[in-house]
Amino acid sequence: MIFEAILLTVITAATPLVIAAFGELVTERAGVLNLGVEGMMIMGAVGAFAAAQATGSPYIGLLAGIATGAVFSLLFGFLTLTLVTNQVATGLALTILGLGASGMLGESYVGIPGIKVPQIYIPYLSDIPFIGPVLFHQDLVFYLSIALVIGINWFLFKSRRGLKLRAIGDNHSSAHALGIDVIRTRYLAVMFGGACAGLAGAQLSLVYTPQWVENMAAGRGWIALALVVFASWRPWRVLAGGYLFGAVSIGQLHAQAFGIGIPSQFLSMLPYAATIVVLIIISHNRRTTLINTPASLGKAFVPDR
């Protein structure tokens, strides 16, 4: 079925956006604005591909992607949380560094066939027409993305640690006065965001297109950043928004395949144009945006001051 095939490709295209956006959502809820998602994604992609090639195991590749993203995020954390550099400038520098470093590290892997993460077969459930292939015959990363939305939603709104993290994002000075370790919590949030971005990058090089191509993130990190704002910092809205943007990305590819008389360059820019349109729409409702935005987002915190 054509619709089933399209839906499967939408899921695959949306998964890295959703995972990267979940990581950034937790980071921003802690009051840290990390614009280096694109750089962490591409580093996770090359780290995962290299590890899978070295070991022959795509699952070790996934772990390597997660670790690469987390370690790379520590550079951002050290600069912004310990040295108190500007978060916006540091995030942009992290993206540029990631794009350059990944191109250098991945040069020897260009053109080498990748090792794809296999799909999981669930007896009986995977054989159900339409629903089976869509929900019960997917790869591990897809199921991790669903687990993330459930886990993050519970952590942020049902647990004490999540309440502390949100308190830091809303007012880090008050949280510090109550005895909450602001810097430690933000370091952990930044590392979690980096790990998610690394996993999203690993999905690109081991699931979406199992090969290494320079700059294969192709702006997905920026879309993930926009998704967080689009979702008003709510996990379930991130999931819905991720699939919406995934559908736009895949829709333009199928439109080109069907020979629709629209310039291919226009169709290729649709996902990014949709991102801009959504941000414009959101900006008109300033009251809702201000209510949901963490008040300390992007603001440096120094305990001594």
Spatial neighbors of 125 by CB under 8 A, at least 6 apart, are: 132, 135, 136
Q: Residue 69 in contact with residue 185, Cβ under 8 Å?
A: no
pLDDT score for 134: 84
Q: Which two tokens stand for residue 132?
A: 């089976």
Give the domains, in start order, of the chain with CATH numbers.
2-292 (1.10.3470)
Max CA-CA distance within the chain? 63
Triad 246, 250, 253: Cα angle to 5°:
155
- Render pLDDT for 196-233 as a digit per residue (tens, 0 to 9): 999 999 999 999 989 998 889 888 999 899 889 888 88
The residue among 282, 252, 286 whose CA lies nearest residue 269 is 252
pLDDT score for 76: 95
Q: Which residue has the higher pLDDT, 264 or 54?
A: 54
Q: Which pTM was predicted? A: 0.91
- Render pLDDT for 25-79 as a digit per residue (tens, 0 to 9): 999 999 999 999 999 999 999 999 999 999 999 999 999 999 999 999 999 999 9
Q: Confidence band (pLDDT; 50, 70, 90) for 256?
A: low
